Amino acid sequence: MIDDSINYGYIIRYIRDMLPERTGLLRELELYAAEHEVPISQPETIKLLELLIKLGRRRSVLEVGAAIGYSAICMAQAGAEKIDTIEINKDSAETAAGNFKKAGLCGAVTLYTGDAAEVLPNLARSGRRYDMIFIDAAKAQYGAFFESCMSMLCPGGLLVSDNVLYKGMTATDELVLHRKRTIVKRLRDYVKLLCTHEQLETVVLPVGDGIALSIKRDEI
């Protein structure tokens, strides 16, 4: 597993020691991700996703960035009944499809292979609506995904944006690498949009690599 947590090592170790170890297919996927350097969400981020689904009874979920299917499987096992997930990389999508089959989730998870910037508008035009949307894809594109995601998020729905602190670079110029300046600028603009949007109530948490939770206010 690629560890991009922004917290101190001793805090991360303490938190993760409190989490039950995954078994079966999920453990296999964790080992596969570590061996092949596939980015999957950190254990504490996944546990937060699972609790959000259980607490809010989030039944329909859209995921932007499937990777090998790890987070979608976790969300389904936490109670999400219908998950649509998008993956741009064909090899990763093929692996994810196989993992969904192994998990017995072919009827619960629909996988779309392609660029989310193109897939999302098509889903929006089809009238899709979701209780929760989890964005964990190309960080520089979060802003481009926003309008389509907002249009599909139900009133009272939850928008979850992962990696918004981006190894701490979003929070301070002192950490920004030259080659990452464009990504960081776009992430800062995106976080500001979440925090100032009139239809959203947002909190940014230092969990994993930084996660933003945004509730869409009920329409008046």
Residue 87 labelled as part of a binding site: yes
162 labelled as ligand-binding? yes
Phi, psi of 135 (to 5 degrees): -105, 120
Decide: 108 and 82 in contact? Cβ < 8 Å: yes
d(C-alpha 83, C-alpha 100), whole Å: 11
Q: Is 115 annotated as a binding residue?
A: yes
SS3 48: helix
- Contact by Cβ (8 Å): 89, 161: no
Retrieve residue 109's tokens: 């998870």
Residue 123 CB coordination number (10 Å): 20
Would the annotation count 163 as a binding residue? Answer: yes
**209 assigned to a ligand binding site:** no
Task: Please state, in angstroms and rounded to a whole number, the distance separating the CA atoms of residues 5 and 180.
Answer: 17
**Residues in a beta bridge with 104:** none
The radius of gyration of the chain from alpha carbons, rounded to an integer in Å, stands at 16
Annotated binding site for S-adenosyl-L-methionine: 71, 87, 115-116, 136
Annotated binding site for Mg(2+): 136, 162-163
Annotated binding site: 71, 87, 115-116, 136, 162-163
